[in-house]
Structure 1
Amino acid sequence: MHRLFAELEPSLTVTEQNLADRVRYILRSNIFDVAELERLRCEAVPSSDENATVEDAAPQMVEQPANVDAAVNTPVVVDSNDNGTVAQELELEHKRSTLEEAIVETRSTPLENRTRLPRIALSKRNRAVVRALKPMLVTYLEVSRDLCETESILFGAALATCRIIGAKVSTAGRATGHSSAIPAWRRRIEERIAKARALIGRLICFRSGNNRPRIVRTVRMAFAGTNVSLSQPDITQKLTERINDLKQRIAAWGKRIRRYTERSTRFNQNRLFQSDQKRLYESLERSMVSGTGPAPNQTDTVAFWRGLWSEPVNHSEGPWTEVVASQCAGITPMDPVIITPDDVAEAVRRAPNWKSPGLDGLHHYWLKGIMIKYEAKTV
């Protein structure tokens, strides 16, 4: 693009960076639409035929002044190769600016506040965008200092790809912890309990002699469908029976919540025991250790650990240690485990594309599509 601009405007001295910044500003600000950009491009880039006949055109213009306006309004025919080159340069510049913005945004955003990357279709167009962004990442990956920075660059590339192809990216941060939403069944039961308690309050007010219209209307709705009338002499007894019935229902609903909660806890623990026993035991120990008692005193804590680690202790080893040492002398030590880039590439290749990502929010699809030549930077 800089070479073409130098050919068009040899009198202007513009650096490549300045020209790229101006093009990026035009594309971001949306000053011109696509049709206007195409028209300006056609006017700026002269055709080869026009340059070849520029000297012959002057006499013809003198002889035919009536055709001047038609010649001026006639669009200039641009070589298809030059037109395609300019369009490709503008498209690459747009992708480069989008990638730069995404990487800068990712670096300044904590992990828990990152946007959730959507699943994109495995189409040729999307793959072409990923392939076009790969050469642009070389500059960023070469100066990457550690694995965290490399991961942020990859996430920025994935975010830029989603924005270029027009995928819907949510602006809300990802949930990093377990969901604290109340289950639907518990919410329904708690709503029943709240309504029953409100009705009990209204019935008690009416029994105490409160005859406001709202209270009376609620009591009539409570006895709707029965033969109970508010003017009956035994209405106080009927109100007491109704109140006791509602209290028993509230107690039954509370027991149902406890029973369902215990059943859900057992189900989750059984499923976690099958998938990750270590995590299950850690959760059980955490619930047992975490208490609401007073925190230990700092002086007592320091004295306790100082008695364990600061005072010298003389251990008397028995003869069994020599027996164990002689038995272990003939054991060949295990070779050190070295994880190579090929091992990482093979593990990523076999992983599903859209498996649930970790805390970084990066799916395996992006590792497969981008990290092909840069495994050494991530190991």
Structure 2
Amino acid sequence: MRDPLSKTIVTIQPSGIRKFFDIVSEMKDAISLGVGEPDFDTPWHIRDEGIYSLEKGRTFYTSNSGLKELRMEIAKFLHRRYGLEYDFNKEMMITVGGSEAIDIAMRAMLDPGDEVLIPQPSYVSYYPCCILANGTPVIIELKAENEFRLKPEELEAAITPKTKLLVLPYPNNPTGAVMEKSDLEAIAEIIKKHDLYVLSDEIYSELTYTDNHVSIASLPEMKERTIVINGFSKSHAMTGWRLGYACGPEIIIKQMLKIHQYVIMCAPTTSQYAAIDAMKNGDEDVQKMREEYNGRRRYLLHRFKEMGLECFEPFGAFYMFPCIKEFGMTSEEFATALLNAKKVAVVPGTAFGDCGEGFLRVSYAYSLEDLKVALGRIEEFITELREKKDSTKTK
């Protein structure tokens, strides 16, 4: 029989995140710190609005770009929070999560041979989405000594005449790194110099723990070069509602909308009605969740310091990225051994790119009680590893 499979799709590896999630789901008394999903329920007033929309029979298709009222509220939110100005009719569309927005943005912008700069470690979807859009991914390896920020010299060195798009994944999954305004200003000059475009994934923008998040689209002459990706999954604990949005130049959004029309039609109607209330009345909920995450963040930093486990201080998202190079194990070996020995699941850093080797992603989107138990088990594990290492040296 003829091979039924696409040669392109066969080359793409499954997500390294899901592997450990699937294992731990079958393991009794295991604690997972591996999945990037808020442990909070969607705030009740948001759920109630979704329920009300169903009771009123609002089960129809919306316009392809999404409910007008939702787009209007998102425009108000972006202006209020980040100083961004978008025409909700021409420069915005509602998507099925931020993931769809990433996919269709690349498909709308890339021709075969166009190079896409992808800083890593970073979210697992950028690389395969680039491949599926016939682009050529070019990896920029970020460094722990720079707190995993993208430096101007790293960007400049990666650019070729074929470079078209830079993925800017901040606040960052898996490292928790952020880019401050001065960092963005430095790379913006290089972007303009080389006439590049930016896909700025800002899904964790509301989960920053110092100053407010700064979008590169807010800088001079950058709005017309930037597609901003955002959504409701992380900020409003709405992962299962599958709702995101993209904002950018009309010429790009128009083509993204064309793809969306043919493969999706529209984002879930019930979710869109719920999201209207999230935009109108959800700021206080987000603040409370952010404060809770920040408390957990500080706790993990304190515990890792007590253990002597090297970890830079992340100021965004809800992840830690501790270094485990001292143990002479690969990230995969360490994570597997930890799971088998202590029933704690974390994600190997290599799930987010080869330069994640020697690191682990630890999510603190879990209750403080679970975190305390899990960190106690991790401490036992690394203490045993160090004792074993010391005893080998003395022999």
TM-score by length of 2: 0.18
TM-score by length of 1: 0.18
Considering fraction of residues, name the structure with more helix: 1
Higher Cα radius of gyration: 1
